[in-house]
Amino acid sequence: MESTSPKKLRAELKDYLDLAAREPIRIQRRSGENYIIMNENVYAQMQNEISSLQRRLLGMSEIIDGKTTEYKGKQDRLKRFKK
């Protein structure tokens, strides 16, 4: 990951935006705060992956806590929708 300062980022914005299309860039302020510039598509993929992992974790915690019921293979899963 490339790192830069806000001053250098302003001076070479176009170059850093081109680089951000390929890899994230860390901007370090003197105060110690850090920020990341990255491609929007990469960010969206990361958000989707986080959501997926959260759903899996929730499902696993429900299994561990015993909040699930056993699925029996020959049971008619669509029965509740039929009238």
How many Cα atoms sit within 13 Å of 50 on the Cβ side?
Answer: 6
Identify the pLDDT of residue 74.
Answer: 67
Tens of pLDDT, residue by residue over 10-56, are 999 999 999 999 999 999 999 999 999 999 999 999 999 999 999 99
Give residue 66's pLDDT band: very low, low, confident or very high (50, 70, 90): confident
Fold of 2-64: YefM-like fold (3.40.1620)
* DSSP state string for 22-82: TS-EEEE-TTS-EEEE--HHHHHHHHHHHHHHHHHHHHHHHHHTT------TTS-TTGGG-
- pTM of the predicted model, to two decimals? 0.61
Distance CA 66, CA 71 (A): 13
